[in-house]
Amino acid sequence: MSQMIDPISSEIFERKPYLQNYFKNFQSEYRWELLPAKKTGEYYVSLDGNPLSSSFSPLTQATRLVDSYSLKPTDVVILLGLGNPHLISLVSEALAPGQILIIIGEDETLIPVMWDQFLKPVLQVPGRHLFSGEMFYPLFFNYLESLPIERVSGLKVIRNPTDTNRNPIYKELEEKTQNVFSAKMSDLLTKFEFERLWIKNSIFNLVHAEKKPPVKKPISLLRDKFQGLTAVLVSAGPSLRKNLSWLQDVRDKVFVFSCDTSLKVLIKAGIRADGVVTLDAQTNSFFHFMGESLEKIPLFADLVSSPTLLREPMFQTVVHSVTAKYQVDAEGSLVREVTAGGELAEQVFADIGDIQSGGSVATTAFDMLRFMGFGTIYFLGQDLAYSGREIHSTGTHHNEKWLTQVNRKNSLERTNEVIIRKRETRFVPSASGKTVLTDYVLDLYRHWFEESATSVKEMTLWNVNEDGAEINGIPSLTPAAAKEKLNSVPNHNYPWRELSIWSEKISNINNPKKEKKTTDKVDALIQNGSERLFYKIKTDLDFMESKLKEFEVNLDGINESNSSSPSFQESEIWLWMQSESYLRRLVRKTEIYLLRHKDLDTKRKNQIMFQSIRKEIRYLKRSLYPMMDAFPEKG
Q: Which amino acid is at 342?
A: G
pLDDT classification of 392: cutoffs 50, 70, 90: confident
Work out the percent of the chain whose per-residue pLDDT is above 70. Answer: 91
What's the helix, strand, coil split of the chain in %, to 5? 50, 15, 35
pLDDT of 523: 63
Q: What pLDDT, on the 0 to 100 scale, is given for residue 73?
A: 86
Lowest mean pLDDT among 11-25, 382-396, 506-520, 529-543: 506-520
Please indicate, yes or no, whether residues 452 and 544 belong to a single structural domain of this protein.
Answer: no
- pLDDT bin (cut points 50, 70, 90) of residue 561 is low
Q: For residues 535 and 441, give the distance between their C-alpha atoms in angstroms, rounded to a whole number.
A: 40
The predicted model gives 4-13 an average pLDDT of 81
- Residue-wise pLDDT for 410-450, tens only, equals 887 888 788 888 888 899 999 988 999 998 889 889 989 99
Give 546's pLDDT tier (boundaries 50, 70, 90): very high
**Same domain (yes/no): 305, 388:** yes
Q: How confident is the model at residue 27 (pLDDT cuts 50, 70, 90)?
A: confident
Bridge-based pairing of strands 476-477 and 460-464 is: parallel
Burial of 59 (0-12, 13-18, 19+ CB in 10 A): buried
| Residue 537 pLDDT > 70 | yes
| Closest by Cα among 104, 110, 109, 106 to 87 | 104
Residue 469 is predicted with a pLDDT of: 94
Give the bridge partners for 380, in sequence order.
Answer: 234, 464
b/e burial code for range 86-115 (CB count within 10 A of at least 16 → b): bbbbbbbeebeeebbbbbbbbbbbbbbbbb
Residue 509 has pLDDT above 50, yes or no: no
Residue 331 scores a pLDDT above 70 = no
What confidence score (pLDDT) does residue 562 get?
60
Distance CA 607, CA 216 (A): 42
Q: What dihedral do alpha carbons 616, 622, 624, 629 form, nearest 10°?
A: 170
| Residue 347 located in a structural domain | no
Can you give the pLDDT at residue 626?
59
Res. 515 pLDDT band, cuts 50 70 90 = low
Claim to verify: residue 159 and residue 266 sit in the same structural domain:
no
Q: Which residue has the higher pLDDT, 392 or 469?
A: 469
CA atoms within 13 A of residue 27's CA, in its CB half-sphere: 0
With CA atoms as reference, report the closest residue to 129 among 76, 71, 168: 76
| Residue 183 placed within a domain | no
Q: Residue type for 529, please? A: G
Q: Are 136 and 174 in contact (CB under 8 A)?
A: no
The whole-number average pLDDT for the span 104-111 is 93
Domain co-membership, 296 together with 433:
yes
Mean pLDDT confidence for 266-282 = 93
Predicted local distance difference test score (pLDDT) of residue 519:
58
Q: Minimum mean pLDDT among 253-257, 397-401, 498-502, 515-519: which range? A: 515-519
- Confidence label for 51 from pLDDT (cuts 50, 70 and 90): very high
* pLDDT > 50? residue 507: no
Last residue of a domain, one of 471, 506, 541: 506
**Domain around 570:** 520-624
- The number of C-alpha atoms within 13 Å of 398 and in the hemisphere containing its C-beta is 15
Beta-strand pair 460-464/376-380? parallel
**CA 54/CA 26 separation, integer angstroms:** 28
Mean pLDDT (whole number) for 441-460: 90
- Whether 145 shows a pLDDT value over 50: the answer reads yes
Task: Identify residue 252 by its one-letter amino acid code.
Answer: D
What is the arithmetic mean of pLDDT over 130-158? 87
Q: Are residues 530 and 460 in the same domain?
A: no
Same-domain pairing of 294 and 423:
yes
- Examine the pLDDT at 72 and tell me if it is beyond 80: yes
Q: Answer yes or no: is 605 within a domain.
A: yes
Are 494 and 527 in the same domain? Answer: no
Question: What's the pLDDT at 508?
Answer: 47
Global confidence as pTM: 0.78
The pLDDT, as a whole number, for residue 522 is 57
Give residue 631's pLDDT band: very low, low, confident or very high (50, 70, 90): very low
CB 132 within 8 A of CB 75: no
Q: What CA–CA distance (Å, rounded) separates 59 from 132?
A: 22
CA distances from 516 to 226, 278, 508, 520 (A): 18, 27, 8, 6
CA–CA distance from 276 to each of 297, 366, 464 (Å)? 7, 12, 19
* Residue 270 DSSP one-character state: T
| CATH number of the domain to which 134 belongs | 3.40.50
Is residue 572 a part of any domain in this protein? Answer: yes
Q: Which residues contact 38 (CB under 8 A, 6 or more apart)?
A: 55, 56, 57
pLDDT of 222 higher than 70: yes
Query: Does residue 334 form part of some domain?
Result: no
Question: Do residue 144 and residue 240 come from a single domain?
Answer: no
What confidence tier does 372 reach under pLDDT thresholds 50, 70, 90?
very high
Residue 630 lies in a domain: no
Q: What is the helix (H) or strand (E) element at residue 204, kind and residue range? A: helix 169-207
Average pLDDT over residues 478-506: 88
3-state secondary structure of 428: strand
According to the model, what pLDDT value does residue 1 have?
40
State residue 526's pLDDT score.
72
**For position 455, what pLDDT does the model report?**
87
Sheet with strand 50-51: strands edge to edge: 32-36, 43-47, 50-51
Tally of helices (H runs) and strands (E runs) in the chain? 21, 20
493 and 597 part of one domain: no
**Where residue 282 falls among pLDDT bands split at 50, 70, 90?**
confident
**Domain-ending residue, one of 147, 166, 185:** 166
Whole-number Å distance between alpha carbons of 242 and 254? 19
Q: Is the dihedral of CA 209, 214, 219, 225 positive or negative?
A: positive
Q: Of 506, 534, 564, which one is at a domain's C-terminal end?
A: 506
Average pLDDT along the chain: 86
Do 395 and 267 reside in the same domain of the chain? Answer: yes
Q: Rounded to the nearest 5°, which phi and psi values hold at 428?
A: -135, 165
Residue 330's pLDDT band (cuts 50, 70, 90): low
Least confident among 251-255, 357-361, 396-400, 493-497: 396-400
Question: What are the tens digits of pLDDT across the range 166-204?
Answer: 999 999 999 989 888 887 887 777 787 888 899 999 999
How far apart CA 258 and CA 271 sit, in angstroms, is 11
Cα gap 441→607, rounded to integer Å: 38
Residues 545 and 607: beta-carbon distance below 8 Å:
no
| Same domain, residue pair 406 and 487 | yes
- Would 153 be classed as within a structural domain? yes
13 and 151 in one domain? yes
Rounded CA separation 195/121 (Å): 41
Which residue from 286, 285, 485 is spatially nearest to 376, judged by alpha carbons?
A: 485
Confidence of residue 500 (pLDDT cuts 50, 70, 90): confident
How does residue 313 score in pLDDT terms, banded at 50, 70 and 90?
confident
pLDDT confidence band for 474 (50 / 70 / 90): very high
Cβ–Cβ < 8 Å for 105, 130:
yes
More confidently predicted of 524 and 217 = 217
How far is residue 534's CA from residue 524's CA, in Å, rounded to a whole number? Answer: 16
Tell me how many domains the chain contains: 3
Q: Which pLDDT band holds residue 628 (cuts at 50, 70, 90)?
A: very low
Q: Measuring CA to CA, how many Å separate 458 from each of 227, 452, 545?
A: 11, 12, 51
Provide the β-strand partners of residue 300.
277, 319
Mean pLDDT for the stretch of residues 470-491? 94
> Does any domain span residue 388?
yes
Q: Is the pLDDT of residue 513 over 70?
A: no
